[in-house]
Structure 1
Amino acid sequence: MDKLFHLKERGTTVGRELVAGLTTFLAMAYILAVNPGMLGLTGMNPSAVFTATAVSAAVATLVMAFIANLPVALAPGMGLNAFFTFTVVMGMGCTWQLALTAVLVEGIIFILLSLCGIREAIIKSIPDNLKKAVAVGIGLFIAIIGLANAGIVSSQTGTIIGFVTFKMENAAALLAIIGLIITIVLYTLKVPGAILIGIVITTLIGIPMGVTKIPEGFKAVSAPDAPYFFAFDWKGTCMGADGVFSIAVLGKFIVILITFLFTDLFDTIGTLLGVAEQGNLKDKDGNVLNAKGALLADSVGTVVGACLGTSTVTSYVESSAGVGTGGRTGLASVFTAVLFLVSLLFSQVFLLIPSAATAPALIFVGYLMMKSVVDIKFDDPTEGIPAFITIIAMPFAYSISKGIMYGIITYVITKICAKKAKEIPVVTWVLAVIFLAEIIFEAVK
């Protein structure tokens, strides 16, 4: 173990890594309940998505363990699954098979970029404040989804959008509020796995309230359903147009692909930087240890996930919980991966959880992703305004891609107006042109 994971060199033990792996799993296992429910809204089979979620998480985390030797776990990403469901399928009118095709292409591109070291170069060229704004905007977007899914907010309140009254006829909304309070209390008390425990308690409370419904023939332990296998459709439908390579669909497909690419890029890099800082997992130059291997892990996981039927796989910030308990090597990731595989036997338990019980997790993850807002330079209009536009566009347009699109365009405009065009990276110029072309295409079609 020591030779493979350098335990002594990093000042840790097998026991400490076991605790760290378990803590990380408890902190992020809510995705096993949330992801099937969210992707299930697209028409996908939640049971099949559950299996794909667990297997892709395990595979990607094992790659992280053995290639990068870092205590970072991966799974289908929050925000990325929301983009898959609410923007690509529900918003753009694309089939979920076409969305999976975009995820597959993204994963293949990322593998190539990771092997060539290009991903590290790309991330350096994106303005720092926009990276932070993307995380904050996604956090608000996820929180809005949680509030809406639980029926806590509605347009039926006499205002554009408002909170419903918490009466028993709104049992799901009431249960979600109870669950949110439980999660806040547990997290404040620093209970490991606060989000997952909150989901479990909320689900149990939902039984007498009639929100959690136990089906006939329920079995706590059972064999998992088969995932989707290579459910790609290059002739998928998007807004009534057939074929990825038709002119009408190609523009949409490029926007979908770019959004998956850069959202995943920001998620992974941000998580790696945060975990490396917390655990002092940096080289002599202050860079993340084995960064290339870490970036390769989410690329492989994304390809595996797409082939099995789930959205983009990315590194989880909840890994910091395991690092906080002493995790320093990939051995912690091995333990986390094994627990994901064990969870396959409990698919019916996870699928029993109602949306009112997972809504608090979505809302709370929104809080966790809001932390980056304090580092945005709002005193500089050329940095603060694009960040602000990015943040508000995502929840109010109900689209992550719109937030990124308008944020980058605004960034270019403000820099040009301030005579700071030289500060605009080449990649940002390219993205701005692509996004402007998309807006023009939408206007004239």
Structure 2
Amino acid sequence: MPSMFRYLLNDVRGRPTTVAAELRGAGATFLTMAYILPVNAGILSAAMGAESTPSIVACTALAAGVCCVLMGLVANVPIALASGMGLNALVAFELANRAGSWQAAMGLVVLEGILILALVLLGLREAVLAAIPKSLKLAIGAGIGLFIALIGLSNAAIVVQGVPAPPGGPLLAAGDFHQPATAISLAGLVITAVLMARRVKGALLLGIVATTGIAALANQVTWPTEWNWPSFSVALQPDLAGAMRWELIPLLFALMMVDFFDTLGTATAVAEEGDLMDEEGRIPGIRRLLAVDSVSASIGGLLGVSSVTCYIESAAGVAEGARTGLHSVFVGLMFLLAIVLAPLAAMIPPAATAPALILVGLLMLRPIAELDFSQLDEAIPAFITLITIPTTYSIAHGIGYGFVSLVLIKLGTGRAGELSPLMYGVAAAFAAYFVVT
């Protein structure tokens, strides 16, 4: 055990860290991710029935806990995992209907994880990451930063959907600052920004705690009213036979594309933020990271909580100083504890974590300063990636638009030879994905 502990306390570049830094970072990551417990249940219960909600909460926490611990022990990176937002909506509102049952939809998720794992073992997923030009990697990280900030602004209701909705009205609009959630988030944003500017250790975590306190004083915290023993009734019910139908292949392809590139984008962004890249701009041990992520997708399907994937909220922990898998182990233990204490985790309102997400977005914008804007054949695709990740509300779509535009511009300018053949194959796959879905 001591040797394992020493292993976890050295980051991927061999630099020692501290237990305090990893625990502090884990606390920040968990608090910014804890929303997935009630939210995943709210989304999946649309297909699985309202009576399944308590079991979905417990199984979501179990899946996240197991997969985070696996990531820490196997890959030793500060990346936490849980049921993926967007993927859960795809499962609940499309896959369950098209496949005939939520059990068959979960069977598709299990198959998707197995297929993605095969691509990892063949080296394809790792090769794609290595083939991405530096300009796009910079844009992916910064674009995800904007995405995180937009999520925070939305959670705080600082930015809201336009009224009336498009096409008759604006896509986005300013929120009402008289609303309690917005006022609480703004107060928390000021507190957290001051702590960060003063370089106080644990600024993000302290900001979340302080904002939750303000929310409690304003009666904007939902206190738990009952404590039930967790149920795992939705687990171990995937219908693999029902998922293996020819007409479901386009849906399986859509799942694979989203999961494949969401994780590549998240891993790149977190590694950039934590300075975890090696001298060649690669993440050491990336194959182990991608293998754990692939296995986690199938674990999510087996436990009935949709595909489990890497979470960009891990950047909150990295911003607090986390650099190793010990961070992920701690987050996993917190999720396992949340199986019993889920009502407490759900008590933290989105308005309390919104300031942390907004400011993490700021930190993730720093790499874009390295982009050469004079080289337009790469700057334009980078900009397209940067802007479409947050505006499409999809990491995979933003990456896809960037890939396709880069290939088209390189072809149009006679510089086709500057790209790896793999980039052309991936761009073609994205074009097919856009057409099919």
TM-score of the pair, normalised by structure 1: 0.76
Which of 52, 59, 62 in structure 1 is aligned with 2:69? 62
Distance change >3 Å, CA 353–CA 231, structure 1 → 2: farther
Is this contact kept in 2: 1:223–1:344, CA < 8 A?
A: no
CA offset digits 1:67-99 (Å, max 9, x no partner): 34x35342227xxx343256x369x84449477
Match of 2:22 in 1: 21
Which of 137, 142, 151 in structure 1 is aligned with 2:148? 142
Match of 2:183 in 1: 174
Percent of paired sites with the same residue:
30
Counterparts of 2:208 and 2:8, CA distance in 1 = 37
Counterparts of 1:118 and 1:32, CA distance in 2 = 29
Counterparts of 2:419 and 2:302, CA distance in 1 = 37
Partner amino acid, structure 2, of 1:67: V
Secondary structure at the aligned position of 2:300 is classed as helix
Match of 1:382 in 2: 377
Which of 337, 343, 366 in structure 2 is aligned with 1:371? 366
Counterparts of 2:6 and 2:291, CA distance in 1 = 21
Match of 1:398 in 2: 393
Correspondence list, 1:39-438, <5 A: 39-44=40-45, 47-68=54-75, 70=76, 72-76=78-82, 81-84=84-87, 88=90, 93-95=94-96, 97=102, 103-154=109-160, 155-156=162-163, 160-167=171-178, 170-217=179-226, 223-226=229-232, 228-230=234-236, 232=238, 245=245, 250-272=249-271, 275=274, 277=276, 289-308=284-303, 309-314=305-310, 316-318=314-316, 320=318, 324=321, 334-438=329-433
Counterparts of 2:256 and 2:37, CA distance in 1 = 22
Is this contact kept in 2: 1:24–1:73, CA < 8 A?
A: no
How many angstroms does 1:258 deviate by?
0.9
How many angstroms does 1:141 deviate by?
2.8
Deviates more, 1:381-390 or 1:29-38: 29-38
Distance change >3 Å, CA 227–CA 84, structure 1 → 2: farther
How many angstroms does 1:162 deviate by?
2.6
Counterparts of 1:76 and 1:128, CA distance in 2 = 28
Partner amino acid, structure 1, of 2:140: V
How many angstroms does 1:254 deviate by?
1.7
Distance change >3 Å, CA 180–CA 10, structure 1 → 2: closer
CA offset digits 1:246-301 (Å, max 9, x no partner): 65x643542332121112123225535665648xxx6x999655444343333333
Counterparts of 2:422 and 2:395, CA distance in 1 = 19
Counterparts of 1:251 and 1:390, CA distance in 2 = 24
Is this contact kept in 2: 1:51–1:226, CA < 8 A?
A: yes
Partner amino acid, structure 1, of 2:43: T
Distance change >3 Å, CA 306–CA 125, structure 1 → 2: same
Counterparts of 1:186 and 1:51, CA distance in 2 = 34
Counterparts of 2:59 and 2:85, CA distance in 1 = 16
Secondary structure at the aligned position of 1:313 is classed as strand
Counterparts of 1:50 and 1:186, CA distance in 2 = 33
How many angstroms does 1:173 deviate by?
2.0
Secondary structure at the aligned position of 1:29 is classed as helix
Counterparts of 2:319 and 2:148, CA distance in 1 = 21
Is this contact kept in 1: 2:237–2:302, CA < 8 A?
A: yes
Counterparts of 1:404 and 1:37, CA distance in 2 = 29
TM-score of the pair, normalised by structure 2: 0.78
Distance change >3 Å, CA 306–CA 176, structure 1 → 2: farther
Distance change >3 Å, CA 399–CA 16, structure 1 → 2: closer
Distance change >3 Å, CA 152–CA 136, structure 1 → 2: same
Aligned length, in residue pairs:
414
Counterparts of 2:375 and 2:157, CA distance in 1 = 38
Is this contact kept in 2: 1:30–1:195, CA < 8 A?
A: no
Secondary structure at the aligned position of 2:86 is classed as helix
Partner amino acid, structure 2, of 1:56: A
Is this contact kept in 2: 1:61–1:297, CA < 8 A?
A: no
Q: Which runs of 5+ in 1 are unaligned?
A: 237-242
Counterparts of 2:113 and 2:430, CA distance in 1 = 22
Partner amino acid, structure 2, of 1:313: T
Counterparts of 1:310 and 1:262, CA distance in 2 = 17
Secondary structure at the aligned position of 1:393 is classed as helix
Secondary structure at the aligned position of 1:30 is classed as helix
Distance change >3 Å, CA 26–CA 115, structure 1 → 2: same
Q: Which runs of 5+ in 2 are unaligned?
A: 46-51
Secondary structure at the aligned position of 1:122 is classed as helix
